[in-house]
């Protein structure tokens, strides 16, 4: 029988989740949902030195903002599950709380001869590293050096037993087999082979803090949680041979997950990995949500920058994948239907900030008017409370073509909610001269006589100007100046139709009196 597909997103809470991490979570989620399987969240927090308070909450909140809800590992309140239940059978999902389970697996490998105890002190290893460095070499604990170091392969059995019982500064290291070809398959990269002599004897478990390292905890948990596919970032590809060897050593090859390593997100110029610094330099976020670190340094977030989560998710999906058609706009549910790992590209995905904005604008354009109005009311409160939904809706419908983000609405629409208090001086100097002060009252009278006051009738103002041979640009820009306060803004007839005749006449009169 086909196994139920189960994938996991396994972040380490070492800081805010980079948008590349969100993409990894998204691809896992899409894969699981398409297969009718499970998406699990597991927190890999065994490296206590790199633990950052708040990072775990940040990760979960980011996923929730994107509409990605794990089937297992997180409860309805967005908390990591600590107690097992039918829905969350593998709890706790935080590795630091699973610490008790890993030692026996590491010891099992020692018993079977796949691992050994290492007693080298931190200082002695540091000295070896320094010595090698002085000779422009790197020290590696591996097949070549382990026979000369302080471990259960070199010490007499009784001495090993004594040290295990009496000391705490020891670890369990994996014994990489000598000179073997490790053959691996990756769902995105295809077949890969590596000679085992290039690998080092990684630490699996540490007596000092009784904690596993990433490699051991990751393999053991993927096995226990019945993970069928591991979809993760390319930075883990160098660990893949070790992971294959670990599955083999445990005798778990039959249920070993398949692997897919996603390529990096690249800078907009394609040169190198996309970093927070690129975002700061070029003015775009690289994190889903705003983050303030312990030093008070602020990193901007897509959410706070005014992105719709739907647009962010859609944009992310396309960073390294495409549906093979021209269609670019996909909801999360639609992505679930069309996503496939086969169409994930091998090469790095170049991030394009303009495309990100484009996606947001597309979602802004598609948003139902009533929804736009509700969002705007929620952010503006009392400032627009006196205006009807119909009025606010017409304003936003007119202006949505001209902005990328709903956060731009406040400034872009302010003149619809408040008459200008002053007039841009440069514009006044440019347009309020020659015969304009004499003409405008005539235009005002014409406008006052329009009935009905809709866009079509208002546009006949242009015919009036033309028939009289008046300067079109100056007249129209003066009208715009009186309505907006500056010589920029949408079409004059569009604005007037929304503002209504009374308000338009009031603003023209005020303009005339102010500038005379
Ligand atoms: N904890 C690892 C990380 O932070 C997970 C790698 C994996 O998915 O195996 O990315």
Residue 276 has a pLDDT of 86
Residue 258 resides in a domain: yes
Mean pLDDT over 148-153 rounds to 98
Pocket test for ligand 1, best of 236, 239, 243 (most atoms within 8 A of CB): 236
- DSSP-derived 3-state class of residue 72: strand
11 CA: nearest ligand 1 atom: 4
Residue 281 has a pLDDT of 87
**Is the CB of 236 within 6 Å of ligand 1?**
yes
Of 232, 262, 292, the residue at which a domain comes to its end is: 262
Residue 452 resides in a domain: yes
Helix-, strand-, coil-residue percentages of the chain, each rounded to 5: 50, 10, 40
Mean pLDDT over 252-262 rounds to 97
The pLDDT confidence band at residue 27, using thresholds 50, 70 and 90, is very high
Pair 172, 205: CB distance under 8 Å: yes
Of 213, 237, 262, the residue at which a domain comes to its end is: 262
Residue 94 resides in a domain: no
Give yes or no for residue 279 having a pLDDT over 90: no
Give me ligand 1 centre to Cα 282, in Å. 28
Segment 471-495, tens digit of pLDDT: 999 999 999 999 999 999 899 999 9
Mean pLDDT over 356-360 rounds to 97
Give me ligand 1 centre to Cα 229, in Å. 13
The pLDDT confidence band at residue 48, using thresholds 50, 70 and 90, is confident
Mean pLDDT over 85-102 rounds to 97
Range of the domain at 455: 425-515
DSSP state of 94: B
The pLDDT confidence band at residue 277, using thresholds 50, 70 and 90, is confident
**DSSP string of 211-280?**
EE-HHHHHHHHHHHTT--EEEEEGGGGGGHHHHHHHHHHHT-GGGPPEEEEEPPEEPTTSSSB--HHHHH
Give yes or no for residue 1 having a pLDDT over 80: no
Residue 384 resides in a domain: no
Residue 302 has a pLDDT of 97
The CATH number assigned to the domain holding 220 equals 3.90.800.10
How far from chain centre, in Å, is Cα 228? Answer: 24
**Is the CB of 240 within 6 Å of ligand 1?**
no
Domain count of the chain? 2
Q: What is the pTM of this model?
A: 0.93
How far from chain centre, in Å, is Cα 322? Answer: 18
Average per-residue pLDDT for the chain: 96
Residue 86 resides in a domain: no
Residue 70 resides in a domain: no
Distance, in Å, from the CA atom of 213 to the CA atom of 205, rounded to the nearest integer, reads 6
Segment 152-204, tens digit of pLDDT: 999 999 999 999 999 999 999 999 999 999 999 999 999 999 999 999 999 99
Distance, in Å, from the CA atom of 147 to the CA atom of 149, rounded to the nearest integer, reads 6
Mean pLDDT over 402-425 rounds to 96
User: Percent of the chain scored above 90 by pLDDT?
Assistant: 97
276: annotated active-site residue: yes
Residue in 273, 276, 430, 510 annotated catalytic: 276
Residue 516 has a pLDDT of 86
Angle at 168 between CA 205 and CA 215, to 5 degrees: 10
Of 202, 231, 262, the residue at which a domain comes to its end is: 262
Residue 355 has a pLDDT of 96
Give, in order, the Cα–Cα distances in Å from 165 to each of 101, 120, 170, 283.
20, 16, 11, 57
The 3-state secondary structure of 169-212 reads CCEEEECCCCCCEEEEEECCCEEEEEEHHHCCCCEEEECCCCEE
Pair 211, 99: CB distance under 8 Å: yes
Residue 245 resides in a domain: yes
Residue 249 resides in a domain: yes
Going by alpha carbons, the residue nearest to atom 5 of ligand 1 is 10
The CATH number assigned to the domain holding 486 equals 1.10.10.350
**Is the CB of 56 within 6 Å of ligand 1?**
no
Angle at 458 between CA 456 and CA 464, to 5 degrees: 115
Residue 236 has a pLDDT of 97
Segment 286-344, tens digit of pLDDT: 999 999 999 999 999 999 999 999 999 999 999 999 999 999 999 999 999 999 999 99
Segment 50-85, tens digit of pLDDT: 899 999 999 999 999 999 999 999 999 999 999 999
């Amino acid at each position: 029988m086909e196994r139920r597909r189960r994938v996991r997103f396994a972040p380490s809470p070492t800081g805010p989740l980079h948008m590349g991490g969100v993409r990894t979570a998204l691809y896992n989620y899409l894969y699981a949902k398409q297969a009718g399987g499970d998406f699990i969240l597991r927190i890999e927090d065994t490296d206590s030195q790199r633990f950052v308070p708040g990072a775990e909450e940040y990760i979960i909140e980011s996923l929730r903002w994107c509409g990605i809800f794990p089937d297992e590992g997180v409860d309805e309140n967005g908390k990591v599950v600590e107690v097992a239940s039918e829905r969350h059978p593998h709890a706790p999902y935080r590795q630091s709380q699973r610490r008790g389970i890993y030692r026996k697996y590491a010891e099992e490998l020692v018993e079977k001869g796949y691992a050994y105890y290492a007693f080298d002190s931190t200082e002695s290893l540091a000295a070896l590293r320094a010595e090698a460095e002085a000779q422009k070499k790197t020290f590696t604990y591996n097949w070549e050096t382990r026979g000369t170091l302080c471990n259960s392969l070199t010490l007499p059995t009784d001495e090993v037993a004594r040290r295990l019982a009496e000391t705490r500064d020891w670890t369990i290291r994996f014994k990489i087999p000598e000179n073997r070809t490790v053959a691996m398959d990756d769902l995105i990269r295809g077949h890969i082979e590596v000679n085992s002599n290039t690998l080092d004897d990684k630490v699996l478990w540490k007596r000092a803090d009784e904690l596993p390292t990433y490699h051991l905890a990751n393999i053991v948990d993927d096995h226990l949680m019945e993970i069928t596919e591991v979809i993760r970032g390319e930075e883990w590809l160098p660990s893949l041979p070790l992971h294959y060897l670990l599955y083999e050593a445990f005798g778990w090859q039959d249920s070993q997950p398949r692997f897919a390593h996603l390529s990096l997100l690249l800078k907009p110029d394609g040169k190198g990995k996309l970093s927070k610094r690129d975002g700061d330099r070029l003015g775009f976020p690289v994190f889903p949500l705003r983050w303030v670190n312990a030093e008070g340094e602020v990193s901007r977030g897509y959410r706070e920058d005014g992105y719709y989560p739907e647009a962010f998710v859609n944009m992310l999906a396309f960073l390294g994948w495409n549906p093979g058609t021209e269609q670019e706009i996909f909801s999360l549910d639609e992505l679930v239907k069309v996503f496939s790992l086969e169409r994930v590209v091998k090469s790095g995905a170049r991030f394009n900030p303009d495309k990100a904005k484009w996606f947001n604008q597309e979602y802004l354009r598609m948003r139902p008017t009533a929804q736009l109005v509700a969002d705007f009311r929620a952010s503006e409160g009392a400032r627009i409370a006196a205006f009807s939904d119909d009025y606010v809706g017409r304003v936003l419908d007119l202006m949505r073509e001209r902005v990328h983000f709903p956060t731009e609405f406040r400034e872009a629409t302010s003149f619809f909610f408040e008459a200008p208090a002053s007039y841009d001086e440069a514009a006044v100097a440019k347009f309020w001269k020659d015969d304009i002060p004499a003409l405008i009252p005539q235009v005002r009278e014409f406008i006052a006589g329009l009935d009905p006051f809709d866009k079509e009738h208002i546009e006949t103002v242009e015919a009036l100007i033309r028939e009289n041979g008046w300067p079109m640009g100056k007249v129209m820009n003066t009208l715009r100046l009186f309505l907006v306060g500056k010589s920029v803004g949408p079409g004059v007839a569009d604005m007037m139709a929304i503002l209504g005749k009374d308000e338009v006449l009031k603003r023209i009169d005020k303009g005339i009196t102010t500038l005379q």
